[in-house]
Amino acid sequence: MSMINYASREINCKIVYYGPGLCGKTTNLEYIFEKVAPNTRGKLISLATETERTLFFDFLPVDLGSIRGFKTRFHLYTVPGQVYYNASRKLILKGVDGVVFVADSQVERLDANIESMHNLYDNLSEYGLDLREIPFVIQYNKRDLPNISSLEELQRELNPTGVPTFEAVGVRGIGVFDTLKAVSKLVIKALS
């Protein structure tokens, strides 16, 4: 749920990047952080565990306009990729306004993608949220690698409801901002 700060005339929105371990969630956020103007973003915060880390930062986009005279500030989060950290995943989803599911396109990662997608549905349902009713996009990452699933197979397995999808190569920034813009616009539309 977005938070309104009347003093600064800002609406704070939370977008969570979700997906299996090593799919590119962190790479997406690091790329965005690097490219967003320093005067419009907060600090990049990393909460590290032994094998996984959660990243967070906020930024105030200059090109998305305002809602009823309020600027929109986006807070971007990643979740730990491994199911072992499900309590952290669930906690990070609390108050979410939009979700980006980052899928690893490699053939051998299809089962991990499916498991993570089911986990996302389960965790949101514990907050009374249905993924089909909140701003949601899917990013098919690592499209530059040789052994990848076809888009048709990924769509069939991960996107039966037909939400917007984007092909990406996160390490090169390809598709990263397209994905962010799409989910941001859906969040703003939901607030309007």
Q: Where are the domains of the chain?
A: 3-191
For the cut 60, the answer to whether the pLDDT of residue 62 exceeds it is: no
What is the average pLDDT across 140-169? 97
- Res 44: pLDDT: 84
- Of 41-55, 135-149, 158-172, 177-191, where does mean pLDDT reach its minimum? 41-55
Q: Given the DSSP bridges, would you call strands 136-141 and 98-104 parallel, antiparallel or unpaired?
A: parallel
Q: How far apart are CA 173 and CA 154, in angstroms?
A: 21
- Res 73: pLDDT: 86
Which residues in 11-41 are b (16+ Cβ under 10 Å) and which e?
Answer: bbbbbbbbbbbbbbbbbbbbbbbeebeeeeb
Report which of residues 65 and 174 the model is more confident about.
Answer: 174
Q: How far apart are CA 69 and CA 127, in angstroms?
A: 30
- Res 16: pLDDT: 96
CB atoms within 10 A of CB 121: 12
| 70 in Cβ contact with 56 (< 8 Å) | no
Average pLDDT of every residue of the chain: 89
**What is the distance in angstroms between the CA of the first residue and the CA of the last residue of the chain?**
13
Percent of the chain at pLDDT exceeding 90: 63
Q: Considering the entire predicted model, what is its pTM?
A: 0.93
Q: What would the pLDDT profile of 112-139 be if each residue is shown by its tens digit?
A: 999 999 999 999 999 999 999 999 999 9
For the cut 80, the answer to whether the pLDDT of residue 55 exceeds it is: no
Q: What would the pLDDT profile of 2-32 be if each residue is shown by its tens digit?
A: 788 778 878 889 999 999 999 999 899 999 9
- Res 139: pLDDT: 98
Q: How far apart are CA 69 and CA 57, in angstroms?
A: 23
CATH superfamily, domain at 3-191: P-loop containing nucleotide triphosphate hydrolases (3.40.50.300)
